[in-house]
Amino acid sequence: MDKLKRVLSGRDTEEPSGLAEVIDATSLGWGTRVKCFIACFVLGCLFSFLGSCLLWVPKKGLLLFAVFYTLGNIASIGSTLFLMGPMKQLKRMFDPTRLIATVVMLLCLVLTLCSAFWWRKEGLALLFCILQFFALAWYSISFIPYAR
């Protein structure tokens, strides 16, 4: 529409602004978005599955499980950024109807990694993984209308 206005007003030779060039250069087509979503989601599922397999490794298995399970969940959540776009995703995540679910989910993700890397408490990491599962389920359900 803006191009039509410029042509009709005789300003067709006007250079596009820097912001318009950046937006045009960074926007992805729908096919690319879907491919990136699928790739990121599959990577997240692979990390979660790998974490479950590493659970049985002696000594460090529980920590490896916590780390890979958490990375898998982060990648799976991050995959939706490709479908909606980052700003729309963040607005929907921190919408008042799902604010508590989002905060609890993000807190569980962070606490799982803290217990695995800083505190080095395997039992605590497992507890936070279980809480992470329920928090992620609660967060996911919050997107279903009338399911809250």
Same domain, 77 and 104: no
> Minimum mean pLDDT among 23-32, 33-42, 43-52, 70-79: which range?
23-32
Same structural domain, 101 and 77: no
Identify the band that residue 3 occupies on the pLDDT scale cut at 50, 70 and 90: low
Closest CA to 38 of 4, 70, 93, 80: 80
State how many domains the chain has: 2
Is there a domain that residue 43 lies in?
yes
Strand runs (DSSP E) across the chain, as ranges?
none
More confident residue, 128 or 18: 128
In the listed set 67, 85, 103, which residue is the last one of a domain according to the structure?
Answer: 85
Domain with 52 in it: 31-85
Question: Which residue did the predictor score with more confidence, 111 or 24?
Answer: 111
- End position of a domain, from candidates 64, 85, 106: 85
Q: Residue 6, SS3?
A: helix
At 120, phi and psi to the nearest 5?
Answer: 55, 45
Both 104 and 132 in a single domain? yes
Same domain for 48 and 81:
yes
| pLDDT surpassing 90 at residue 12 | no
Report the pLDDT value the prediction gives residue 45, as an integer from 0 to 100.
Answer: 95
pLDDT at position 72 over 80: yes
**Residues 65/55, Cβ–Cβ less than 8 Å:** yes
